[in-house]
């Protein structure tokens, strides 16, 4: 104890004995940053007593008698003579000497194209425009190829549609929103992602896990929000053309213009076509459909920054037509005995948004969103018929404020939703109306180390009853470089078994719905809890960046509609009676060794199991393991804006369980395979660039993609058992031009 006191005394006395030294720090301003000046000469005037500042700008100098005139000099800066107070530590700014200034060196840090949230409680990855350019083609469904959080599968051997999965769950379990208005749902579930052209997208936010309650109760695995380009910020005239070796041609034109002082408008036109009949695998069926789409969007944007008003009006029209099936099929001629199919979709949408931010109390705002949509699909697949008409309306009123101060924010609001579905499945008609009202409140608390968001909503729904949806997200940052996140939340949805599982119509399986007492085709609504944990560790910061992220998410279904493909010749839908879960683990490393290079590695493991009639099994066509590598490189931009960009993605897809069939037999697993995509872009100026790319460069193809292709009207015909691409290597070229 005494020794301890003595020690304190000693420490206390120490500065007194050190008074023969004078200390200080030499710094300077570089642009807006303060930097330490190391190597500055510091000496007493007219003496030889001097020192040199260290790497932190600090120096220590012996005091000489009767002299307090200090001279500080450093190359490139003005030499200063100061008369200093010897008892105080000096902090001195050097001023740049304009005459002696050395050539300026600017260090700019590149923004990452995939940005993971650091401060938010939710696990959100933002995909920005530069990242979207890496996958040059062509619509929202193809925008996730370079992103390890999202898996892309193939839905069937006929339509060429790509299916999105997150945490091992298919897209119906993901809540899609377009500018926070739910989209790609109901009738649009199967093909809706192909109805948003890639050039229209400004950014995508991917939330893993339950997510916010603001946009509804339907999200179970996560949420994907798409922000479209804003007329205010877009180029007045933009042109994009694309052509691929398999006969796909796409064109996009955007016009934007100011209208008056406060309005901006934009007209976005997209058209695509594929008119070549391709059957590389010689099974008599088209590898890709013959297709055409016309898509129009007119946006109006209103901004009055002074009074804090913002508004949007959107009008959208879309027509899509696909022809698939056997090569010799001709829809206009009599084609007895030839299997053919056509899908025609028409969709229009109108949406508006008004928001008002209090100009003084900027944390206080309210917003009103309203959307109407009409979606009509008419289709036949051989002898089967599937028509769906979905009318939807949605209103959301939202209020933002704070509790105490801006560290605690409050979001509160009401949703109204109204959907009518009219479906014809072969000879059966189904009619349904879903309507309801929901009220929600979300409180977020922010502090340096801990953030949390607690959301709760109550819905009164004609078919789902009255229920609560709780969701909770937590972020904990014990050190600046470690970010831990945890989340828990509930979600529910009605399974639109026909619209979501349209690949069933490309089979001759008989549709069997076992339950009869539920509201949704006799089945019950789905209900699940999602829990997640994530740890992101930042390993390197500065010019070299590296981090590693571990994610573990589990979704436990309390109620689920089991889609059972296990019996050849039948597809069965029944209420889950037992266990069903999706557990996913992901480890991802992001590494940027320099501003030019970007490397992403990921390993993913999925345990997606349900109790089927035939036992507790992994979901068919769901790889247990997936590997992902993406390498991106870009050259330094020259003064006239020229640049090269290159990137390559490797997907290692592990083996997938196959259902019993005459092709695969019983208990077989599909082989693991690799997919490589790559793209090279050349920017000629800030206004013009061209790109050249290749998909599936290794040319891996699934053989015998269609089961019983030789007997398309037989009971075993099945085009839905797809685990790999059917179309092989494909090259494409394109250009982007800001006029």
- Closer of 92 and 600 to another protein (Cβ): 92
* Cβ-contact 237, 739 below 8 angstroms: yes
Based on the shown chain and the rule CB under 8 A, indicate whether residue 638 belongs to the binding site for another protein.
Answer: no
- In the complex, the smallest distance separating the C-beta of residue 444 from another protein, rounded to whole angstroms, is 15
- In the complex, the smallest distance separating the C-beta of residue 79 from another protein, rounded to whole angstroms, is 18
Q: Sheet containing 151-154: which strands, arranged edge to edge?
A: 151-154, 162-166, 169-170
Between CA 494 and CA 502 the distance in angstroms is 16
- In the complex, the smallest distance separating the C-beta of residue 99 from another protein, rounded to whole angstroms, is 21
- In the complex, the smallest distance separating the C-beta of residue 395 from another protein, rounded to whole angstroms, is 29
- In the complex, the smallest distance separating the C-beta of residue 38 from another protein, rounded to whole angstroms, is 12
With b for 16 or more beta-carbon neighbours within 10 A and e for fewer, the 82-91 pattern comes to eebeeeeebe
CA distances from 208 to 212, 288, 486 (A): 11, 32, 11
- Closer of 35 and 233 to another protein (Cβ): 35
Based on the shown chain and the rule CB under 8 A, indicate whether residue 642 belongs to the binding site for another protein.
Answer: no
- Dihedral sign, CA of 323, 327, 333, 336? negative
Taking CB under 8 A as the criterion, the residue among 19, 34, 429, 637 binding another protein is 34
- In the complex, the smallest distance separating the C-beta of residue 89 from another protein, rounded to whole angstroms, is 5
Taking CB under 8 A as the criterion, the residue among 27, 175, 181, 318 binding another protein is 27
Q: What is the DSSP string of 334-351?
A: --TT--EEEEEEEEEEEE
Based on the shown chain and the rule CB under 8 A, indicate whether residue 594 belongs to the binding site for another protein.
Answer: no
Taking CB under 8 A as the criterion, the residue among 19, 47, 56, 635 binding another protein is 56
| Candidate ranges 29-37, 155-163, 177-185, 227-235; the one touching another protein (CB under 8 A) | 29-37
- In the complex, the smallest distance separating the C-beta of residue 90 from another protein, rounded to whole angstroms, is 9
Site for another protein (CB under 8 A): how many residues? Answer: 24
Taking CB under 8 A as the criterion, the residue among 25, 280, 559, 617 binding another protein is 25
- In the complex, the smallest distance separating the C-beta of residue 645 from another protein, rounded to whole angstroms, is 29
- In the complex, the smallest distance separating the C-beta of residue 291 from another protein, rounded to whole angstroms, is 49
Based on the shown chain and the rule CB under 8 A, indicate whether residue 18 belongs to the binding site for another protein.
Answer: no
Based on the shown chain and the rule CB under 8 A, indicate whether residue 119 belongs to the binding site for another protein.
Answer: no
Taking CB under 8 A as the criterion, the residue among 19, 29, 107, 739 binding another protein is 29
Between CA 315 and CA 483 the distance in angstroms is 41
Based on the shown chain and the rule CB under 8 A, indicate whether residue 405 belongs to the binding site for another protein.
Answer: yes
Based on the shown chain and the rule CB under 8 A, indicate whether residue 360 belongs to the binding site for another protein.
Answer: yes
CA angle 704, 705, 711 (to 5 degrees): 75
- In the complex, the smallest distance separating the C-beta of residue 150 from another protein, rounded to whole angstroms, is 31
Between CA 358 and CA 364 the distance in angstroms is 6
- In the complex, the smallest distance separating the C-beta of residue 29 from another protein, rounded to whole angstroms, is 7
Between CA 721 and CA 661 the distance in angstroms is 9
Taking CB under 8 A as the criterion, the residue among 10, 363, 616, 713 binding another protein is 363
Based on the shown chain and the rule CB under 8 A, indicate whether residue 40 belongs to the binding site for another protein.
Answer: no
Based on the shown chain and the rule CB under 8 A, indicate whether residue 361 belongs to the binding site for another protein.
Answer: yes
Between CA 344 and CA 709 the distance in angstroms is 24
- In the complex, the smallest distance separating the C-beta of residue 230 from another protein, rounded to whole angstroms, is 23
DSSP, res 577? -
For residues 413-452, which are near another protein according to CB under 8 A?
Answer: 448
Based on the shown chain and the rule CB under 8 A, indicate whether residue 406 belongs to the binding site for another protein.
Answer: yes
Between CA 197 and CA 299 the distance in angstroms is 15
* Cβ-contact 502, 511 below 8 angstroms: no
CA distances from 629 to 396, 680, 714 (A): 40, 17, 42
Taking CB under 8 A as the criterion, the residue among 21, 36, 76, 412 binding another protein is 36
Tokens of 18: 């050190």
Based on the shown chain and the rule CB under 8 A, indicate whether residue 541 belongs to the binding site for another protein.
Answer: no
Tokens of 307: 């009074």
- Closer of 358 and 376 to another protein (Cβ): 358
- Dihedral sign, CA of 490, 494, 495, 500? negative
For residues 74-113, which are near another protein according to CB under 8 A?
Answer: 88-89, 91, 93
CA 146 to chain centre: 10
Whose tokens are 């790889």? That residue is: 623
Tokens of 16: 């007194």
Between CA 182 and CA 213 the distance in angstroms is 12
- Closer of 34 and 429 to another protein (Cβ): 34
* Cβ-contact 51, 67 below 8 angstroms: no
Taking CB under 8 A as the criterion, the residue among 17, 20, 32, 111 binding another protein is 32
Tokens of 545: 């960046």
Based on the shown chain and the rule CB under 8 A, indicate whether residue 45 belongs to the binding site for another protein.
Answer: no
| Candidate ranges 21-29, 453-461, 595-603, 723-731; the one touching another protein (CB under 8 A) | 21-29
Containing H/E element for 12? helix 2-17
For residue 412, which of 448, 460, 367, 381 has the smallest C-alpha distance? 367
| Candidate ranges 70-78, 357-365, 531-539, 717-725; the one touching another protein (CB under 8 A) | 357-365
For residue 168, which of 716, 654, 495 has the smallest C-alpha distance? 654
- In the complex, the smallest distance separating the C-beta of residue 448 from another protein, rounded to whole angstroms, is 8
Which residues of this chain interact with another protein, rule CB under 8 A? 25, 27, 29, 32-36, 56-57, 88-89, 91, 93, 360-363, 402, 404-407, 448
């Amino acid at each position: 104890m005494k020794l301890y006191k003595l020690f304190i005394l000693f420490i206390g006395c120490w500065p007194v004995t050190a008074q023969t030294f004078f200390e200080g720090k030499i710094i300077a301003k570089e642009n807006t940053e303060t930097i330490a000046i190391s190597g500055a000469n510091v000496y007493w005037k007219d003496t030889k007593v001097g020192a040199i500042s260290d790497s932190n700008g600090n120096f220590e100098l012996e005091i000489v008698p009767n002299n307090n005139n200090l001279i500080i000099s450093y190359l490139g800066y003005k030499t200063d003579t100061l008369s200093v107070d010897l008892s105080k530590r000096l902090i001195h700014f050097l001023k740049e000497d304009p005459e002696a200034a050395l050539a300026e060196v600017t260090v700019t840090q590149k923004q990452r194209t995939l940005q993971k949230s650091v401060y938010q409680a939710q696990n959100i990855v933002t995909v920005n425009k530069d990242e979207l350019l890496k996958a040059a083609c062509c619509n929202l469904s193809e925008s996730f190829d370079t992103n390890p959080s999202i898996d892309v599968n193939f839905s069937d051997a006929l339509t060429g549609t790509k299916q999105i999965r997150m945490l091992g769950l298919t897209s119906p379990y993901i809540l899609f929103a377009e500018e926070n208005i739910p989209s790609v749902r109901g009738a649009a579930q199967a093909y809706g992602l192909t109805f948003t052209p890639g050039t229209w997208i400004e950014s995508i936010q991917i939330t893993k896990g339950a997510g916010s309650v603001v946009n509804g109760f339907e999200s179970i695995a996560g949420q994907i929000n798409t922000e479209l380009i804003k007329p205010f910020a877009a180029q007045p005239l933009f042109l994009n053309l694309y052509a691929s070796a398999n006969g796909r041609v796409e064109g996009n034109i955007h016009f934007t213009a100011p209208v008056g002082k406060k309005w901006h408008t934009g007209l976005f036109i997209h058209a695509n076509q594929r008119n070549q009949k391709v059957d590389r695998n010689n099974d008599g069926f088209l590898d890709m459909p013959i297709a055409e789409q016309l898509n129009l969007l007119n946006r109006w944007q209103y901004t009055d920054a002074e009074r804090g008003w913002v508004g949007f009006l959107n009008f959208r029209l879309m027509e899509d037509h696909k022809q698939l099936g056997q090569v010799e099929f001709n829809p206009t001629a009599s084609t007895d005995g030839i299997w053919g199919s056509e899908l025609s979709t028409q969709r229009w949408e109108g949406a508006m948004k008004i928001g008002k931010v209090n100009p003084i109390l900027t944390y206080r705002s309210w917003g009103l969103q309203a959307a109407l949509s009409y979606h009509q699909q008419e289709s036949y697949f051989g002898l089967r018929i599937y028509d769906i008409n979905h009318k939807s309306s949605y209103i959301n009123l939202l209020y933002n404020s704070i509790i105490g101060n801006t560290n605690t924010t409050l979001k509160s609001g009401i949703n109204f939703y109204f959907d009518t579905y009219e479906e014809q499945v072969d000879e059966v008609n189904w009619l349904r109306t879903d309507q309801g009202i929901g009220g929600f409140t979300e409180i977020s608390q922010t502090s340096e180390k801990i953030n949390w968001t607690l959301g709760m909503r109550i819905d009164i729904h004609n078919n789902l009853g009255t229920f609560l949806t709780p969701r909770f997200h937590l972020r904990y940052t014990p050190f600046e470089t470690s970010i831990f996140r945890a989340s828990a939340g509930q979600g529910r949805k009605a399974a639109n078994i026909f619209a979501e599982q349209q690949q069933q119509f490309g089979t001759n399986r008989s549709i069997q719905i076992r339950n009869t007492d539920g509201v949704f085709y006799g089945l019950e609504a789905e209900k699940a809890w999602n829990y997640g944990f994530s740890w992101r560790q930042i390993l390197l910061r500065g010019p070299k960046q590296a981090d590693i992220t571990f994610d573990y998410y589990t979704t436990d279904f309390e109620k689920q509609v089991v889609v059972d493909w296990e019996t050849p010749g039948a597809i069965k839908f029944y209420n889950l009676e037992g266990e069903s879960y999706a557990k996913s683990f992901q480890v991802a490393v992001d590494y940027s060794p320099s501003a030019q290079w970007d490397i992403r590695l990921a390993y993913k493991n999925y345990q997606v199991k349900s109790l089927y009639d035939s036992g507790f099994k992994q979901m068919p066509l769901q790889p247990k393991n997936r590997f992902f590598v993406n390498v991106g490189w870009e050259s330094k931009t020259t003064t006239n804006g020229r640049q090269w960009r290159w990137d390559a993605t490797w997907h290692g897809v592990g083996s997938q369980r196959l259902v019993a069939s005459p092709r695969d037999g019983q208990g077989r697993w599909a082989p693991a395979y690799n997919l490589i995509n790559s793209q090279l872009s050349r920017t000629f100026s800030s206004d013009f660039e061209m790109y050249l790319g290749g998909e599936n460069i290794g040319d891996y193809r699934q053989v015998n993609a269609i089961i019983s292709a030789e007997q398309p009207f037989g009971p075993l015909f099945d085009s839905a058992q797809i685990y790999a691409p059917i179309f092989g290597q494909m090259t494409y070229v394109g250009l982007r031009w800001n006029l």
